[in-house]
Amino acid sequence: MAGRKKTQKFQQTKPVEKATSRSMNKKNKKPNQKNKSPLSSTSEAFQQKFVFVTGGVVSSIGKGLTAASLGTLLESRGFKVSLVKCDPYINVDPGTMSPLQHGEVYVTDDGAETDLDLGHYERFTKVSLNRSNSVTTGQIYDSVITKERRGDYLGGTVQVIPHITDEIKSCIFEGGQGAEVVIVEIGGTVGDIEGLPFIEAIRQMRVDVGTSNSLFVHVTYVPYIAAAGELKSKPTQHSVKELREVGIQPDFLICRSEEPLPNELKSKIALFCSVPFENVIAATDASTIYEVPLTLHAEGFDEKVTHQLELEDSKASMGKWKEMVGTLMNPKREIIIGIVGKYVDLIESYKSLHEAIVHGGIANHTKVNIVYIDSETLDKKNVKAALSEVNGVLVPGGFGERGVEGKIIAIQYARENEVPFFGICYGMQLATIEFARNVCGIKDATSREFGTPEKGQCNMVIDLMEEQSVVSDKGGSMRLGSYPCHLVKSTRAHEVYNSDMIYERHRHRFEFNNKYRPLFEKKGMFFSGICKEKDLVEIVEISEHPWFIGVQFHPEFKSRPLTPHPLFISFVKAADEASARGLTKVTAKKKKNRLAYKGRCLSMQEGNP
């Protein structure tokens, strides 16, 4: 991968365009500035602020949610924010990682394959992120080595300090372009050897930009020892000690715990960690992730951050967010959605999908429970028992042949029993294969992704895109990012979107084979969304079915709690109506079956799967 081109070196803190500062400059603050014309010049210089978020004790402690929640709170106070995720792994991006190791790969509009935390950032804020907001060790070293080969270092010895740390700082500044406050999350846990260059880089940045323009937030864990019946602060103390050993003294501690944090324990943590008592923030486990901003706000976290960064004193406007959480916590109805996939051993593999269904439930005032069904274990004998209770079936994206037949069986069940069905990316492709086999009579219908049989042996309903035929590298080479889709009028897709053209994010190599379009339309499957520029099928639907839609893109990446994606609103509504009408044909033994899958049922109100 070629090195990144940087438009701003790490020493620079001012963006190219001019902007009026919202920082308080107590010495130079002049009276009567309130009514000054926006066209008038100003003596106040724009000064970017930086918040660095680290984590200790254990991984998955909630750094991403903390960063995203702070973004929510600062936006509610009127500040423009940007968020940057620094991942210490050597991969250039997570695109080639197994979802079972890393969780989902989140795709931005410009086609960057990134960590799932960028999904949290976009869902919790109004920011639209891009590849500059995701930084990895692989990218940093690739860029530095490319520069060295090019001779940019003029024969000097290339070292971790300053060359690697300078490149990290340059990337952080690049990701923060145009923002008043840049929130930077350092992935991993303090003490990890691969994270040391990033820790050193942010230590240097505080010297570069100054203490009034930066602060450190450390997210840590305060475990509850059931046998002793008390919370223990020692892991937090050791975590902060580890951070101080590399030159960073945290300004704030976000203390995750299962039980409320008493003031006595807060005082102890403050004393031993050299943090003011009021900056020890309790973050007790919430019933939903969308409560976290409200919890931090109740602790005064955002007010203290704005004060320490000398930002303009403004009031947080969290009314809509509180209303959304209230709707989530007080549903009027309850339904069950079955997700049939092969990454069910790590639900983080479907994180954005999970949250998008939550959003659809919020819009419909409905509590959605999910049954995660392993497609590898599904067959014609047990599909009835596995899906008889669900009010909707969703087959998500994926890769490879493993678990395919189970997904196709689930799709057939949903189609024949008029259960609302939603196929996303790979799920859409498998829906067309199922239709080809069982409705069009093409018994050998398949995808070229499953292998390359001899010519004429199989009908390739799903085929490799023409431009993909010359691609050899796996990383970053798929059809990635936002593409236009034209919607056909008088179709369900057009009705759902209420628009003639949409833009959605993609991540795939294979497409529907247009040679089969006439036959499919003749048999009742219609192509309601087309990318006209390349004549690619984007959306399929069956008009005679109560709700059967497959999409080639990933709509879950554009859904937010305050603005749920229309497809998820419509899907949950259809499942809601199916539940109310008892639409599923197989209804026998419901009470008995409910006990069988209850342990696998995940309440969407729990927030974290």
Q: Tell me: the pLDDT tens digits for 284-306?
A: 999 999 999 999 999 999 999 99
Judge whether residue 602 has pLDDT over 70: no
Q: Tell me: the pLDDT tens digits for 511-561?
A: 999 999 999 999 999 999 999 988 999 999 999 999 999 999 999 999 999
Judge whether residue 591 has pLDDT over 50: no
Judge whether residue 592 has pLDDT over 50: no
Judge whether residue 75 has pLDDT over 80: yes
Alpha helices in 63-211 (DSSP H): 63-76, 99-102, 117-124, 137-150, 165-175, 196-209
pLDDT at 384: 92
By DSSP bridging, strand 81-87 and strand 181-186 are parallel
Of the pLDDT bands very low, low, confident and very high (cuts 50, 70, 90), residue 40 is: low
273 belongs to the catalytic site = no
More confident residue, 277 or 588: 277
- DSSP, collapsed to helix, strand or coil, labels residue 22 as coil
CB-CB neighbours of 310 under 10 Å: 15
Give the mean pLDDT of 490-511: 94
Residue with tokens 């030159």: 247
Give the mean pLDDT of 2-23: 40
CB-CB neighbours of 71 under 10 Å: 26
pLDDT at 524: 94
Give the mean pLDDT of 190-219: 95
Q: Tell me: the pLDDT tens digits for 369-396?
A: 999 999 999 999 999 999 999 999 999 9
Of the pLDDT bands very low, low, confident and very high (cuts 50, 70, 90), residue 98 is: confident
Q: Is 582 exposed, middle or buried (0-12, 13-18, 19+ CB in 10 A)?
A: exposed
By DSSP bridging, strand 392-395 and strand 548-551 are unpaired
Q: Tell me: the pLDDT tens digits for 44-66?
A: 667 899 999 999 988 889 999 99
pLDDT at 581: 81
Up-side HSE of residue 506: CA atoms within 13 Å toward CB? 22
425 belongs to the catalytic site = yes
pLDDT at 43: 52
Q: What letter does residue 161 receive in the DSSP assignment?
A: I
Judge whether residue 450 has pLDDT over 50: yes
Judge whether residue 491 has pLDDT over 90: yes
Judge whether residue 2 has pLDDT over 50: no
The length of the chain in residues reads 609
Judge whether residue 7 has pLDDT over 80: no
pLDDT at 346: 77
Amino acid, single-letter form, for residue 273? C
Which residue in the list 425, 458, 485, 531 is annotated as catalytic? 425
For the chain, give the percent of residues with pLDDT over 70: 85
Mean pLDDT score of the chain: 87
pLDDT at 29: 44
Lowest mean pLDDT among 26-35, 109-118, 159-168: 26-35
pLDDT at 4: 45
Q: What is the pTM of this model?
A: 0.86
Domains and CATH numbers, the chain: 49-322 (3.40.50.300), 334-464+477-606 (3.40.50.880)
Judge whether residue 231 has pLDDT over 90: yes
DSSP letters for 295-326: HHHHTTHHHHHHHHTTB-------HHHHHHHH
Judge whether residue 603 has pLDDT over 90: no
Which residue in the list 104, 122, 541, 556 is annotated as catalytic? 556
Q: How far apart are CA 373 and CA 420, in angstroms?
A: 16
Give the mean pLDDT of 38-46: 59
Q: Tell me: the pLDDT tens digits for 323-339?
A: 999 999 999 999 999 99
pLDDT at 558: 96
How far is the CA of 163 from the CAs of 50, 156, 201, 209, in angstroms?
21, 10, 10, 19
Q: How far apart are CA 397 and CA 379, in angstroms?
A: 20
506 belongs to the catalytic site = no
Look up residue 473 and give its two tokens. Answer: 């590298």
Of the pLDDT bands very low, low, confident and very high (cuts 50, 70, 90), residue 111 is: very high
Judge whether residue 141 has pLDDT over 90: yes
pLDDT at 438: 96
